[in-house]
Structure formats: structure tokens, C-alpha cells
Amino acid sequence: MVLIIGDKHVNGDISAEILFTDFPDLKTQSESLFNAAPRMVRAGERHVYVGQREMAVSERGDWVEVLGSEDATTCHIVIMRDLTSDRGVTGLAHLDSEDPAQLLALEAAVRQRSGSGGPWEYEVSLVGGYEDDRSCSRDITDTLLFTMQNHSAVFRLRLACVLSVNTEKRVGVDWPRTYGAAVSLDTGEVFRAAFESHGPDPDIRSMWAEEGLHNLYCHQTGHIVIKPFAYGVSSSAHKWIQQSDEFLLTYCSTSPKVEPPTFCDMIRAQFQRMITDPNPLETLFRGGVSREYHRDEMSGLWIRIEN
């Protein structure tokens, strides 16, 4: 049960409240992420985009070269790199809950991909979450710190671009300084990122009903795989689509003042999907078959493999 920040073992409880006061070097290191502008990851690049409640695990020399995510306001993007081998096995997840099961699922997936018998040691970077007025971000940060500190593995916290480090004032309102991050599988470099494409069928993937993490990348084939799942359907879906942006932000967001411009469009796409496919196990996943996508080398886009 070891959490290491810099070269110091964390003894006793650690919380978001004292993270940067007790470890000022971590604050300095984390702020260095903002020395460069966000890099646009183009659709043609060999990458996997990880959405909310999703994760992907890859390694150096794999089918892809970059893992990344964006649109994180109160959510946290967690990047975990295995230090027990030289393969650079790395997992990236977009967490939206203070349930420790999400981080534990990411750790288990990285450990399984590494395949060694331990002892387990990881380098961890946290990006996302800001000083929101509902303290949703703080609750998630506290959960991540507590879970790492009470796990059997060793976690070395490299970056914590969260809370005060990831907050700036705009016209009197607290805003996230960055919404996205990515990691190079070759070097392990973590950088701010924006994405030209969010990968295949983002409206379907945004409908994950369970709070657990969904591992969408198959390293054996290099394919993205959406396994069969059901979702709840609102009887008023057609009315939600017609609502104003202000209404959707008020009732669908944990951070309505600072959501990215695409937020309301995605909410409407979710309700439209409920209308077009109210029984996804019959129409989207016929016969219990997953939706699978391969990467087209010419365009870089993910193309569905028809069964």
C-alpha cells in the first residue's frame, strides 16, 4: 500500500485539500503541462479516443501510437503506465464517478495486459477536474488518492492537473484550464490534446448505462469493440431533443457553465438514439454480437466490420 509523490512516500491520509500544499513540487510539475498549447490529434493518426466511462490499454509497438480523451470538466482522465517491464504498457480511462471500482478496473486491465507476476508498480497522471461549485471534482480526486494509497501496488503520482492547478477565472467564473489529454505509447509523454474525431458511433458509446469502465480496445486485433449492452429509454425523448441549450445544460450537466460547445449536441444525439433504437439488443447488437471496427489505413477512420 504505497503512494509515492516525487521521491516521498505518502504517510497517513492524503486528500485533495492538502495535496499541493504538502507536495509543492507536484504542483510545479503538474503546471508544466500548460507550457504548450493543446495538440490537435488528427483523425488520420494511429490513436484510440476514449470517451466517458471507457478505457483502453495498449503498449509500445501496438496497432496504435496514442491514447487520449477530452471533454472532461468534473471528470478525470487517468493515465497509468506499468513500470515493471520495458514494454510501456499504458492504460487511459475517462472517469466520471467517485466509485473506486473505476480506477480498480483500469489497474486490473493494465496488470492483465502486462502479464508479469508483480510486484506491481505504476506511474500515474491525473488530468481533469477543476474547482467546480458542487465539489464533484474534489470528490473524485479524493477517491483516486484514497484508492491508490490503499491498493497493494505501488503508484508514483507524476502529474495531478486537477482542482486548483486546472482552474482559471473567466469573467468571474471558474473554468477548467484543459479539457483533454493524451499519452504517447512510445515515450510515455503526457500532453494536452484536442481531437478531430471521437471515433466510431460516439452516440452509442455515450449511452453506457453502468458506472463501471468499458474496455473498448482489443490489442490482439487492433479493433475497437462495443460489447452488447442495454440502456434506459425516456418516454419523453422527443421532447428533450426540442429543449434549449440552457435547459439541457441545467438538467444534464454537473458543470453547466463550462461545458464544451459539443455538449448539447451529444445530449440530443443520445435522445435521438433512444428514439431510433429503443431496443438496442435487438437492433444494434442483433444476436448478442458486438459492434466491431477496424482502422482504415487510408483515412484513419474507424470502419464497422459487418457481420
CA angle 256, 194, 290 (to 5 degrees): 85
Within a domain: residue 288? no
In this structure, the number of other CB atoms found within 10 A of the CB of residue 75 comes to 26
In a domain, 226, yes or no: no
Say which residues have a Cβ less than 8 Å from residue 59's Cβ, sequence separation at least 6. Answer: 87, 88, 89, 90, 113, 185, 219
Write out pLDDT tens, residues 160-193: 999 999 999 999 999 999 999 999 999 999 999 9
Q: How far apart are CA 307 and CA 297, in angstroms?
A: 21
Q: State mean pLDDT over 112-126.
A: 91
8-state DSSP, 289: P
Q: How many domains would you assign to the chain?
A: 1
CATH number at residue 182: 3.30.1330.200
Residue 300 lies in a domain: no
pLDDT recorded at residue 161: 98
Q: Is residue 305 part of a domain?
A: no
Q: Is residue 228 part of a domain?
A: no
Of the pLDDT bands very low, low, confident and very high (cuts 50, 70, 90), residue 306 is: confident
Residue 211: is its pLDDT beyond 90? no
Cα 40 to Cα 55: distance, rounded to the nearest angstrom: 20
The pLDDT of residue 273 is above 70: yes
Q: Angle, nearest 10°, between helix axes 101-114 and 136-149?
A: 50
DSSP-derived 3-state class of residue 218: strand
SS3 of 19-58: HHHHCHHHHHHHHHHHHCCCEEECCCCCEEECCCCEEEEE
Rounded-to-integer distance, Cα 300 and Cα 307, Å: 21
pLDDT at 300 over 90: no
- The answer to whether residue 185 is domain-embedded is yes
Query: How many other C-beta atoms are found inside a 10 Å radius of the C-beta of residue 175?
Result: 18
The pTM of the full predicted model, rounded to 2 decimals, is 0.95
Separation between Cα atoms, residue 162 and residue 22, nearest integer Å: 15
261 occurs within a structural domain: no
Tell me, yes or no, whether 164 lies in a domain. yes
- Residue pair 167/174 in contact (Cβ under 8 Å)? The answer is yes
Burial profile 242-267: b = 16 or more Cβ within 10 angstroms, e = fewer: ebeeeebbeebbebeebbeeebbebb
Question: Given pLDDT bands bounded at 50, 70 and 90, which one contains residue 78?
Answer: very high
pLDDT confidence tier of residue 209, bands split at 50, 70 and 90: low
Q: Which among 49, 5, 4, 43 has a CA at the least distance from the CA of 23?
A: 5
Domain carrying residue 62: 2-198
With a cut of 70, say whether residue 258 has pLDDT above it: yes
* Average confidence score pLDDT of the chain: 94
